[in-house]
Amino acid sequence: MVVLRKIIYTGIPLSGLLVAGYTFSDVKILRNAMALSKGTKKSFDEHFPRGTWDDNWDFRSPDYLLNMEKYNNATEEEKRKMYQEVKATATRNILLIRHGQYHLDSEGKNLTPLGREQASLLGKRLAESGIKFDKLVMSTMQRATETANLILQHIPELQRCVHLEGPPYPPVPPVHHWRPQYSEFFVESARIESAFRRHIHRASPQQKDDSFEIIVCHANVIRYFICRFVVDKKYGQSI
């Protein structure tokens, strides 16, 4: 602030339109600085606006699951009971696993010997972790399917299912080896959003015990799931 005052008083413009030895933008800066010194401070949130928590980000919040007609006509004790019946009490633990190393120059992009070793060692580590896994979801693409099947050799009792994928968004910065048409992004990105809604959500009220689930997929899918979970793109809200 001392430097700013010195600049203004000597008539050297910083930016904007110079009037009588100082600028409109400089005057605004000075007034804000003087207001702060007089105690008229803005709150932290006013300086750094942020979104609000959307408790219904997965459309599974208790308020959304309640039968509001019955709830509004219930006694306070009945309301508490109804709320507890639709409130999730268990935790879903989801492990997002990228496929192993693969051949970039092959048509099927299957795993390299190192990639197969990576997947097998990971399966062994998971089997020895002491965690009881409930389900494994795998991508239909070959390198992810190979990785998942090598993991399943160590924990074969897992329930398994597949999910279709699609490119979520053009890569930034662009890459020379993968350039789908924009029409492909437009059509197939719906798959990855569908996968997010199907697999990334809180536990249902009927689930009583914590669960551990594995999703074997691709780096783009993991990035999409994490970013989609952390920030709601449409409203700019943290969820």
- Which residues are annotated binding-site positions? 143
If you ran DSSP here, which 8-state letter would residue 191 be given?
H
Contact 30, 37 (CB under 8 A): no
- Number of Cβ within a 10 Å radius of residue 22: 19
Contact 159, 136 (CB under 8 A): yes
The residues, ordered by sequence, that sit 6+ positions from 174 with a Cβ below 8 Å of its Cβ are none
Contact 227, 234 (CB under 8 A): no
How many angstroms separate the CA atoms of 21 and 9, rounded? 8
Binding-site residues for substrate sit at 143
